[in-house]
Structure 1
Amino acid sequence: MKTSKITSIFILFLLIGNSAFSQYRVIITSDFPSFPVTNSDPDDVQSMVRFLLYSNDFDVEGLVNSAGTFDMVAEKKNILAALDKYDEVDENLRKHDPRYPTADYLRSITYEGLGKNHGLDIKWGCDKQSWSDIIGEGKDSEASNAIIAAADKEDKRPLYVCVWGGPREIAQAIWKVEHTRSKTGSDLFISKLRIFLIACQDATHTWLMKNYPKLFIIESKKTYYGMFGVGSVSWAEENVINNHGSLGAIYPPKAIAGHGVIEGDSPSFLYLVSANKGLNNPEDPTQPSWGGQYIRVDGTNHYVDGLGETTISKWSNDFQADFQKRANWMLP
């Protein structure tokens, strides 16, 4: 009887071990556009649809509209519009997993960064201006303050920050902490962060890489290309866009880099999705994962390209099948 009870407990642990016991704390920062997309890259909308379908597997601490791509504006109304679409399917999603957050909760943790619409002249790309032009005294935002508040929580789990646009908001948070706390307090704050940078989209990217060797950073300048073309337009239309509710309907059939599934930002959280499945340890990005495999820079806590985009694309059958399954959960 005792053995049977232990066995039952063990089976229960296996069934829920990747849920309540191992939820990763996540903040998404995205140059998320209005849709239909006219002022940015549609890939952020693609990635957001996928992310929301995995939001049950995370403790989502924030959705940040940051500046990026063409207009370099930051408007949280764009993410809120996407959450209105999520609100129309989330009850169906909770039939499959009650952990899916409500739209109201996600709205409550949606924050706006700074961009040209706030009078901050941010230039797209690395080394196009001085980092001090866009972070520093008087440049806090509700987004950068929210990142600080999340990291300051009494929670031993690290905070994963997935950066889809420019990293200005996480950089401003770090700058403020460094200038308002002791070195011990600043080091403690930095030790809690796990940052995944997609491409190189504003001047603070280089600032973070050069000045914070102890900061955990995955820098994906090219590896993320492995997401390009993992699904055709017809695949996206059949499995996500058409007849999959209002959230699926906003999934764009093309992005700047091409037609079909071009989710350049998705590796930033897919490596956590595969970790939830027991395939990798997110604390060691040198391991294979759905988000790619990276090389550690000697003497730092930075992980960079090196093994190539195939470290993502080789998993495409697995993560696309999983995406398809979850997209079907949006149906009544």
Structure 2
Amino acid sequence: MKKYLFISVFIFLLIPQKKAYCQQYKPRVIVTTDGEADDRASMVRFLLTSNEFEVEGIINSSSQFHWVGGEGWHAFHPVTWVKDFIELYEKVYGNLILHDPNFPKPEYLLRKWKVGNIDGIGEDDIRTEGAALITQVLLDDDPRPVWIQAWGGCNTISRALKNIQEDHPEKMEEVAAKIRLFLIWEQDKTYQEYIRPNWEHFNIPTIISDQFDCMAYIWPKVLPEEVKTFFEADWMTKNILKGHGLLCDVYENNQGAFNAEGDTPSFLYNVPNGLRSMESPKNGGWGGRYVKVRHNVWMDPLPDSTYKRPTEQWGFHNSWSKKMEHDTDPEKVKIRTNYFKPMWRWLDDVQNDFAARADWCVMDYASANHHPIVRLENKSLNIKAKAGSKIKLDASLSIDPDGDALSFKWWHYNEADTYTGKDIQSSNSAKAKIIVPKDAKPGETIHLICEVSDSGTPRLTRYQRIILDVIQ
């Protein structure tokens, strides 16, 4: 691990901060996709966000919705769409690296594109190039986590894990320690039939998401009105679809409005934006917030006490999202809105981030906006404190690479707490004084978010999270 940290620090010193917002290391990610229309829209955003990741694989897979031989809506989009999109990315790459030299080279991404298991729903018997690439990454000497995203079914992931169990059974526990799974539902039966009985007991951190659906086709029904603005035709046409280069030109839309990006939360979770979501699914962030249901498997918080957790495959047929989609009763709508809140609460910032990246495709550095850099006076992001004590928080060292004025907000993310008392009052100053609630008990945690936004266009926001650990 030390050599990778050394390399990242060395790179940080070589690159002027004005033209790169660097982190200690970039998360290693693998995408598996069934190529549905919303996958293709997600891929545009993924490629424009690829400077944040170490992309280890982009792999065609199938699902219960799309597979080779499927007919009509179930038809499989030709696998070459991934290559086509990377070639369009190449057309804007020269402009993207004006804004951040960490964008991967197009030829690198093409080497990481492989075809996995696509010949049927849940087919995981064939040893494919896509599965082999996943196997290779999981067996390499790099100890860092590998975040594997299932935008479609899990079958190519399943095949890769079968490769390891069949060829290197002695390494299963070691490999499992590297794996992180983010599943957009279970879009075939391979998680239940193979991965769960053979790998789940290794406590692989696994998110099986349903709340992603508020970024899929049902968004007009379920998003709050103040958030819908960022998905409607006026906003999307101005900020993404018109005049933003060849890659954005192929972004699939619905008559100018957002259509769907149901898979996007799986990589939003990995954007190192300061929310520390990768530390635990319970923390919450751009990819949602989740609760542990068994082993190290995490699912959506219950909408209310009448809902029951699935014991089998979690997907379209038993989704809480689909159950609530058509609700019109005001109380049920309120429950539904709160259910999706862990995701929609960030979506204005998420969409503005997308708009900035679209601008980077066509604008020079001076003409575009770039994310603020949040710097805290506090040396530790985990602070031990007694109930009733006072904590001073200071983000005044934060800077903006474009010289824009910054606005600040400190707020209490109480849904992520184990403390269940009253909210701590927010502050709109760079400096804040927090009194730890007197009723906080030893062992409880309190999550405080520092939100820093610039005054540029589009308005960009980055964060930092302080976790208070209450002590005796």
Question: TM-score, structure 1 length as denominator?
Answer: 0.81
Give the letter aligned to residue 224 of structure 1: F
The reply to whether residue 178 of structure 1 matches residue 165 of structure 2 is yes
**Map of 1:151 onto structure 2:** 138
The reply to whether residue 239 of structure 1 matches residue 239 of structure 2 is yes
Give the letter aligned to residue 270 of structure 2: L
* CA shift digits 1:192-246 (9 cap, x unpaired): 11010002211113233454232221101x2102324351133222211111111
**Residue 311 of structure 1: which of 337, 342, 355 is its match?**
342
* CA shift digits 1:168-204 (9 cap, x unpaired): 111111112112223x411111211101000221111
**Map of 1:127 onto structure 2:** none
> Structure 1 residue 71: deviation in Å?
4.0
**Map of 2:87 onto structure 1:** 84
**For structure 2, which runs of at least 5 residues remain unmatched after alignment?**
1-9, 69-75, 220-227, 303-338, 364-472
Q: Distance in 2 between matches of 1:97 and 1:69?
A: 38
Q: Secondary structure at the match of 2:22?
A: coil
**Map of 2:374 onto structure 1:** none
> Structure 1 residue 269: deviation in Å?
0.6
> Structure 1 residue 261: deviation in Å?
4.7
Give the letter aligned to residue 215 of structure 1: I
The reply to whether residue 262 of structure 1 matches residue 248 of structure 2 is no
**Map of 2:101 onto structure 1:** 98
**Map of 2:352 onto structure 1:** 321
**For structure 1, which runs of at least 5 residues remain unmatched after alignment?**
1-8, 33-40, 124-133
**Map of 1:135 onto structure 2:** 124
Q: Distance in 2 between matches of 1:232 and 1:92?
A: 27
**Map of 1:131 onto structure 2:** none
Greater displacement, 258-267 / 144-153:
258-267
Give the letter aligned to residue 196 of structure 1: F
**Map of 2:249 onto structure 1:** 249
The reply to whether residue 161 of structure 1 matches residue 148 of structure 2 is yes
> Structure 1 residue 67: deviation in Å?
1.4
**Map of 1:37 onto structure 2:** none
* CA shift digits 1:123-158 (9 cap, x unpaired): 6xxxxxxxxxx224xx11000000011112211210
Give the letter aligned to residue 80 of structure 1: K
* CA shift digits 1:7-54 (9 cap, x unpaired): xx9x9799599635220001111112xxxxxxxx31111111111111
CA contact (8 A) 2:236 2:257 kept: no
**Residue 51 of structure 2: which of 27, 52, 56 is its match?**
56
Q: Distance in 1 between matches of 2:277 and 2:16?
A: 17
Task: Note closer, same or farther for the CA distance 1:53–1:200 as it changes in structure 2 (3 Å cut).
Answer: same
**Map of 1:271 onto structure 2:** 269
Give the % identical residues: 33
> Structure 1 residue 281: deviation in Å?
3.6
Q: Distance in 2 between matches of 1:197 and 1:185?
A: 23
Q: Secondary structure at the match of 1:61?
A: strand
**Map of 2:382 onto structure 1:** none
CA contact (8 A) 1:291 1:312 kept: yes
Task: Note closer, same or farther for the CA distance 1:326–1:198 as it changes in structure 2 (3 Å cut).
Answer: same
CA contact (8 A) 2:207 2:298 kept: yes
Q: Distance in 2 between matches of 1:297 and 1:304?
A: 7
Task: Note closer, same or farther for the CA distance 1:30–1:71 as it changes in structure 2 (3 Å cut).
Answer: closer
Q: Distance in 1 between matches of 2:141 and 2:206?
A: 22
Q: Please report the RMSD computed on the Cα atoms of aligned residues, expressed in angstroms.
A: 2.5
- Structure 1 or 2, whichever has the larger Rg, is 2
Give the letter aligned to residue 168 of structure 2: R
> Structure 1 residue 254: deviation in Å?
3.1
Give the letter aligned to residue 162 of structure 1: Q
**Map of 1:296 onto structure 2:** 292
Q: Distance in 2 between matches of 1:289 and 1:98?
A: 26
CA contact (8 A) 1:226 1:311 kept: no
CA contact (8 A) 2:277 2:284 kept: no
**Map of 2:192 onto structure 1:** 206
**Residue 226 of structure 1: which of 171, 190, 214 is its match?**
214
Q: Distance in 2 between matches of 1:234 and 1:68?
A: 33
CA contact (8 A) 2:244 2:358 kept: yes
**Map of 1:47 onto structure 2:** 42
* CA shift digits 1:60-105 (9 cap, x unpaired): 0111111135441375311001111111101110000111111111
Q: Secondary structure at the match of 2:134?
A: helix
Greater displacement, 77-86 / 12-21:
12-21
Task: Note closer, same or farther for the CA distance 1:283–1:209 as it changes in structure 2 (3 Å cut).
Answer: farther
* CA shift digits 1:246-297 (9 cap, x unpaired): 1001111139xx9515211011010111xx1211241300111100000112
**Residue 285 of structure 1: which of 274, 281, 286 is its match?**
281
Q: Distance in 2 between matches of 1:71 and 1:318?
A: 32
Paired positions, count = 292
Task: Note closer, same or farther for the CA distance 1:248–1:193 as it changes in structure 2 (3 Å cut).
Answer: same
Give the letter aligned to residue 290 of structure 2: Y
Task: Note closer, same or farther for the CA distance 1:322–1:261 as it changes in structure 2 (3 Å cut).
Answer: farther
Q: Distance in 2 between matches of 1:87 and 1:14?
A: 24
**Map of 2:179 onto structure 1:** 193
**Map of 1:216 onto structure 2:** 205
Question: TM-score, structure 2 length as denominator?
Answer: 0.58
Q: Distance in 1 between matches of 2:254 and 2:137?
A: 34
Q: Distance in 2 between matches of 1:105 and 1:295?
A: 36
Give the letter aligned to residue 60 of structure 1: V
Give the letter aligned to residue 94 of structure 2: E
